[in-house]
């Protein structure tokens, strides 16, 4: 199996089924963990030298950070539903959550600077939503932590791709630090499918062919994108959700389309 395709593990005592770190991914910036908590189960972390963004994929939690009580956040039953709630916590701080019923929580992280900004809730009204593309290239985007909102390195976005459509398409990449044309960003995709017995396809490839892998992912899989183009396809009958986490040397999202396929943007 490809090293870029990460399968969920059996939950540990803290409900964790994914734990992508810079060390085990072989890169420098992005971290991603996924916890499925039972009612009343608590989770706490020191952020140390990394900033965190907790995304409630489903369910509710009571949340605290740095001694501040943020109350109960969350509420949707599935990541395919709109209105995500998230909690941003800076480096050099701590947070704790307690599940109010079963819930699924993603912990997105990247290097940060202690004391750079306060913790805050990112409520649904703070999330910019838009639709990109048309026809079989339609996808619905929710910008949870875009570069226009304060953070040190993290960029976090949700995308819902209708059944039969392509996403991250035409193929694009962001693996070279050559601003303003392109930025260098690592990226994870956390994939969910509806109905859950479905599958999707993703290809990760470079211009020189030194990396060229295509694989079928299932509900709950994570795909790592260390470099290269990375288009995604949702087969007929199965809607696709994914949560993207990006970070790199500069907190800017500038991508470069594959010249072989860029023609379709003007068609």
User: Residue 255: CB partners within 8 Å, gap ≥ 6?
Assistant: 172, 173, 174, 182, 183
Q: What is the CATH number of the domain that holds 254?
A: 2.60.120.10
- Residue-level pLDDT at 56: 98
Q: What is the pLDDT of residues 103-130, one digit of tens each?
A: 999 999 999 999 889 999 999 999 999 9
Dihedral (C-alpha) 180, 254, 245, 86: value to the nearest 10 degrees? 90
- Residue-level pLDDT at 155: 98
Q: What is the pLDDT of residues 153-169, one digit of tens each?
A: 999 999 999 999 999 99
Q: Are strands 186-194 and 239-247 parallel, antiparallel or unpaired?
A: antiparallel
**Contact predicate 166/92, CB 8 Å:** no
Percent of the chain with pLDDT over 70: 100
267 pLDDT above the threshold of 70: no
Domain count within the chain: 1
Percent of the chain with pLDDT over 90: 96
190 pLDDT above the threshold of 90: yes
Sign of CA dihedral 51, 193, 167, 161: negative
CA distance 104 to 187: 20
Sign of CA dihedral 159, 176, 224, 99: negative
Residues 100-110 as b/e (b if ≥16 CB within 10 A, e otherwise) read beebbbbbbbb
- Residue-level pLDDT at 115: 86
- Residue-level pLDDT at 112: 97
Residue 192 phi, psi (nearest 5): -130, 150
User: Residue 23: CB partners within 8 Å, gap ≥ 6?
Assistant: none
Q: What is the pLDDT of residues 144-157, one digit of tens each?
A: 999 999 999 999 99
In terms of residue numbers, what domain contains 241?
5-266
pTM above 0.95, yes or no: yes
226 pLDDT above the threshold of 90: yes
- The pLDDT of 181-194, averaged and rounded, is 98
**Contact predicate 10/17, CB 8 Å:** yes
87 pLDDT above the threshold of 90: yes
Q: What is the pLDDT of residues 9-23, one digit of tens each?
A: 999 999 999 999 999
CA distance 131 to 235: 19
Q: What is the pLDDT of residues 43-80, one digit of tens each?
A: 999 999 999 999 999 999 999 999 999 999 999 999 99
- Residue-level pLDDT at 2: 87
CA distance 49 to 143: 24
- Residue-level pLDDT at 83: 96
């Amino acid at each position: 199996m490809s090293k870029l395709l990460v399968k969920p593990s059996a939950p540990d005592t803290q409900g964790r089924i994914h734990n992508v770190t810079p060390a085990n991914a072989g890169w420098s910036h992005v971290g991603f963990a996924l916890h499925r908590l039972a009612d009343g189960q608590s989770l706490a972390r020191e952020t140390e030298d990394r900033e965190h963004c907790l995304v409630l994929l489903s369910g509710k939690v009571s949340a605290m950070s740095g001694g501040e009580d943020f109350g109960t956040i969350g509420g949707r039953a599935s990541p395919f539903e709109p209105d995500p709630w998230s909690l941003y916590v800076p480096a050099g701080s701590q947070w704790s959550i307690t599940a109010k019923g079963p819930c699924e929580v993603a912990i997105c992280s990247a290097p940060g600077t202690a004391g750079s900004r306060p913790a805050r809730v990112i409520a649904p009204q703070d999330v910019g939503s838009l639709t990109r593309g048309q026809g079989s290239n339609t996808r619905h985007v929710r910008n949870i932590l875009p570069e226009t909102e304060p953070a040190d390195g993290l960029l976090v976005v949700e995308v819902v791709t209708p059944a039969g459509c392509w996403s991250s398409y035409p193929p694009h990449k962001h693996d070279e630090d050559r601003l303003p044309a392109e930025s260098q960003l690592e990226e994870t995709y956390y994939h969910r499918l509806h109905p859950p017995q479905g599958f999707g396809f993703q290809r990760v490839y470079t211009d020189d062919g030194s990396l060229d892998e295509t694989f079928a992912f299932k509900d709950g899989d994570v795909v790592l994108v260390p470099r290269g183009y990375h288009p995604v396809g949702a087969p007929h009958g199965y809607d696709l959700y994914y949560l993207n986490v990006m970070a790199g040397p500069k907190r800017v999202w500038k991508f470069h389309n594959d010249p072989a396929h860029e023609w379709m943007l003007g068609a």
